[in-house]
A and B are shown apart, each in its own frame.
Chain A
Amino acid sequence: DTAVSQTPKYLVTQMGNDKSIKCEQNLGHDTMYWYKQDSKKFLKIMFSYNNKELIINETVPNRFSPKSPDKAHLNLHINSLELGDSAVYFCASSPLGGGGAGQPQHFGDGTRLSIL
């Protein structure tokens, strides 16, 4: 069973379109995250949610809107896609306070978004 699963794995679309990425975790974790990894492999947090509540929003353009219908799901909707949005987007989850006292974050397989 996949612990953190993301769909789709690949997303190729035109500039200006709107797209969504879905994430689900079956680990019973309370916290979920979205990360962006650019072409230089730099992994940067975008959002985090604790039990459906937004905790971190790292100065991400408001074209990006996360939604957490329940603590096992965190989706990412992106409006008006731009060339600079091309990247790999990773979903992750952790117990509450993930990172503190060594509670690790577990990553999904990533969604490779390519904007034409």
Chain B
Amino acid sequence: QKEVEQNSGPLSVPEGAIASLNCTYSDRGSQSFFWYRQYSGKSPELIMFIYSNGDKEDGRFTAQLNKASQYVSLLIRDSQPSDSATYLCAAYGAQKLVFGQGTRLTINP
């Protein structure tokens, strides 16, 4: 069983709509969770992190964490073509980040 699982996509969303990205994790000891965005040929860049149950908002992005269900999500409101990228979910525990395989998101103009 993979430690952090994401739907690899591709996920296609029309411009201006809400993109919803999901992630589940297996280690209940995971302490905090990160969303990174990676454009093709580039390095991962941090979008948000969350470590408390509930929602955390930052501009057009909202991260949601449900520790009981071992579930993390990222919502992107008013999606823009520039949001097209691979989104990596990561869980931190035992001094290391464990990444999911990433979800490829395409925003269609």
Q: Which residues of A contact B (CB under 8 A)?
A: 40-45, 48, 55-56, 58, 90, 97-102, 104-110
Closest residue of chain A to B104 (Cβ to Cβ) is A41
- Report which of B31, B93, B97 forms a contact with A105, defined as CB distance below 8 A: B97
Interface band, chain B: 20 to 34
Stretch at the interface among B11-19, B45-53, B67-75, B76-84: B45-53
Task: Find out whether the CB atom of B44 lies under 8 angstroms from the CB atom of A48.
Answer: no
Closest residue of chain B to A105 (Cβ to Cβ) is B97
Shortest distance from the beta carbon of B14 to any chain A beta carbon, whole Å: 24
B86 cross-chain contacts in A, Cβ below 8 A: 41
Against A, the Cβ 8 Å flags (1 = close, 0 = not) of B11-52 are: 000000000000000000001101000100011111001110
Task: Find out whether the CB atom of B45 lies under 8 angstroms from the CB atom of A107.
Answer: yes
A99-B31, A104-B34 are contacts. A42–B99 as well, Cβ < 8 Å?
yes
Shortest distance from the beta carbon of B11 to any chain A beta carbon, whole Å: 15
- Report which of A90, A99, A104 forms a contact with B96, defined as CB distance below 8 A: A99
- 3 smallest A-B Cβ distances: which pairs? A99-B92, A107-B43, A43-B99
Bound: A55/B96 CA distance, A: 10
A41-B102, A99-B92 are contacts. A104–B49 as well, Cβ < 8 Å?
yes
A105 cross-chain contacts in B, Cβ below 8 A: 34, 46, 97
Task: Find out whether the CB atom of A100 lies under 8 angstroms from the CB atom of B31.
Answer: yes
B1 cross-chain contacts in A, Cβ below 8 A: none
Task: Find out whether the CB atom of B101 lies under 8 angstroms from the CB atom of A100.
Answer: no
Bound: A102/B34 CA distance, A: 8
